[in-house]
Amino acid sequence: MRKGLTISLVVVVVLLLALGVWFAKLLWLKPFSIDSFFERVYIEFLWEDPEALTQTKVLSPFGFSAYERELTNVSPTATRRLADVGRNNLEILEDYDRSKLSKSQQVSFDVFHWFLKTGVEAEPFLFHDFPITHISGAHVELPQFLSSLPFEQAEDVENYLQRLDVVDEKFGSVIDALEERRKLGVVPPTHIILKAMKFCDAFYESPLDENILYTSFVKRLDGMENLSQRQKQDFLDRCTLSIQENVFPAYKRLSRFLLQMERSSLSIAGVWQLPNGDAYYKACLLQQTTLALDPDSLYAFAKWEMSRLHGEMLILKNLSGTVNEPTFKTDSIGRLATVAYFSEVSDEMLAKLPAFFNKLPSVPLSVLEVPEYRSQNSTFAFYISPRGEPLTNGKLYVNTWKADHLTKPLAKTYAYHEGIPGHHLQKGIQAGLTDLPTFRRFLPFTAYAEGWAMYAERLGHEMNESLDPQDRIAVLQSDLFRTARMMTDIGIHHKKWLREQAVDFMVDNAGLSQLEAEDEVDRYIVWPGQGCAYKVGQLKFIELRERAQSELGNNFDIREFHDVLIGHGAMPLEILEKQVLEYIAERRPKG
């Protein structure tokens, strides 16, 4: 009996040791399963980002919720920790034998390897970006994040209030990040700082009952039937106090720090003037387009493409005659009509999807109005991906406050780009790919996402069988705009254009007003390389379709082809091309 007990104890000890080794590998070393590695690293990245954890809800099934009361730290220390995560896990990933992985795992390996490797290679430029601009940063994004959080139970309200209480702490980390960059000579241009200051000042000077953090709180609180009036009033009093004593002072503090930065800023723009600026811009191009591209060659191509587009538009206009398309109005009725038209276009496309796609998003698309407080610095339309578990709806935001610059044909093109069959189809499908590693559902690649959306502008009219020349002109106008955007991006950051020169170029070549051109140019100034991703991605998607149709002939199936393009999550363009070539080889007629 004693011998049997000894054997049993040995077995238990061995099992515990094996389990301990398994946990150690899972948490700190190289997990036995690469799928476990993918999940661990994704959570490791998000662990430093409570806001992303809230949006993705990847930890909800495990009962973790402490992060629901925290905001993301963007200090230099936190940024360096994330860089360490990427570098350390790249070494572990490269230790796996890719040849022994399944086909799906190999694609995940390639996508994650590209993501980690380019991040490591960009480490010399870790603090070359601008944490605060007129269109991005905590001051802009935090109100949108907090106002989007659902209230279902009292704990959700408590979490919201706890987050309001730490807004000043969050903004402290933002100021630390700005100061770190200022020491390196990385300071936004003067006019960008002034625009960001204006946003902050307007935010904390606005009446409490008009502030989005208060109004959205009241609206969600009113909808909670499981709270008594006394509880609601108590929560409302706490919200009022926290906004007045924590949020408004945080915005004022940030504005005052930006005023200090403005004194050391320059009026000229372009990353060429930053330390090692030319190398940084090439790194930005790689990150945004996912291809190693020479800016001079890209500029030369864009110049040729612009001439082609101008020529095609001129022919269409001559054939169709002069048509003065009416624009939407910006009064209350006109803004409602704008949202209604985007919804109508989206609904029309839904019925046509099965003829072009096998896979469809599992969640619907909501068309919403851009809040007035964000309207001045916002584009005509933008998309927010489905998030969380269960997934939220995809959201297409329409800037109705600028609708007097939108005709119906142009609005239709925006609806195709941002909604269906554009971003919502691609990102809605991606968010629902639960059979893939989690990072494949949420990892963004700009050239892939925007390339598909540009391709979708043409596809939308193809699906709709539109013969209206004004629709075709609107697509060309959008294409021309993105081509001019690419030239402007390269002009500012590589060819040392002045802001005024870039604005004049956009007015003369992209059909924009002076004010629209200024808004667009300022966007490219703070997001180097991003303006090139649209056109580069579009050209790759068009090239891949033309190649598949040419080589497959009658064997070409548009639904299968679209499954290959957007049925497996976002990825770098070179990896996407490899997937399409494999598909062509499998489907190519034999003999």
Token digits of residue 494: 């590589």
Q: Residue 70 in contact with residue 146, Cβ under 8 Å?
A: no
Beta carbons within 10 angstroms of residue 360's beta carbon: 13
- Stated length of the chain: 591
Residue 388 in this model has a pLDDT that exceeds 80: no
Residue 377 in this model has a pLDDT that exceeds 80: no
**Share in percent of the chain as helix, strand, coil (round to 5):** 70, 5, 25
Q: How far apart are CA 350 and CA 241, in angstroms?
A: 46
Pick from 348, 345, 349, 365: which is nearest to 357 by CA? 349
Q: Residue 414 in contact with residue 481, Cβ under 8 Å?
A: no
What pLDDT, in 10s, does the model give residues 128-144? 999 999 999 999 999 99
Handedness of CA 38, 41, 47, 51 (dihedral sign): negative
Q: How far apart are CA 369 and CA 338, in angstroms?
A: 9
Q: How far apart are CA 257 and CA 273, in angstroms?
A: 23
Mean pLDDT of 213-234: 95
Q: How far apart are CA 361 and CA 364, in angstroms?
A: 7
Residue 117 in this model has a pLDDT that exceeds 90: yes
pLDDT class of 322 with cuts at 50, 70, 90: low
Average pLDDT over the chain, rounded to whole? Answer: 92
What one-character DSSP code corresponds to residue 570?
-
Residue 13 in this model has a pLDDT that exceeds 50: no
| Percentage above 90 pLDDT, the chain | 81
Residue 274 in this model has a pLDDT that exceeds 50: yes
pLDDT class of 12 with cuts at 50, 70, 90: very low
Pick from 416, 379, 410: which is nearest to 519 by CA? 379
What pLDDT, in 10s, does the model give residues 225-241? 999 999 999 999 999 99
User: Which pLDDT belongs to residue 567?
Assistant: 95
What pLDDT, in 10s, does the model give residues 16-69? 433 343 344 444 447 889 999 999 999 999 998 999 999 888 887 777 888 999
Residue 453 in this model has a pLDDT that exceeds 90: yes
pLDDT class of 589 with cuts at 50, 70, 90: confident
User: Which pLDDT belongs to residue 237?
Assistant: 97
What pLDDT, in 10s, does the model give residues 358-370? 999 999 999 999 9
Pick from 99, 111, 105: which is nearest to 573 by CA? 111
Q: How far apart are CA 512 and CA 405, in angstroms?
A: 9
> Which stretches of 346-498 are assigned E, i.e. beta strand?
365-369, 381-384, 394-398
User: Which pLDDT belongs to residue 30?
Assistant: 76
Token digits of residue 82: 């994330």
What pLDDT, in 10s, does the model give residues 136-175? 999 999 999 999 999 999 999 999 999 999 999 999 999 9
Domain residue ranges in the chain = 1-30, 31-125, 138-267, 283-582
What pLDDT, in 10s, does the model give residues 180-189? 999 999 999 9
Find tokens 């930065």 and name the residue.
Answer: 261
Helix (H) or strand (E) holding 60: none
User: Which pLDDT belongs to residue 20?
Assistant: 41
Pick from 416, 71, 131: which is nearest to 258 by CA? 131
Highest mean pLDDT among 60-69, 323-332, 410-419, 461-470: 410-419
User: Which pLDDT belongs to residue 455?
Assistant: 98
Mean pLDDT of 291-296: 96
pTM equals 0.90
Q: How far apart are CA 170 and CA 190, in angstroms?
A: 24
Please name the residues in contact with 28: beta carbons below 8 A apart, sequence gap of 6 or more.
none
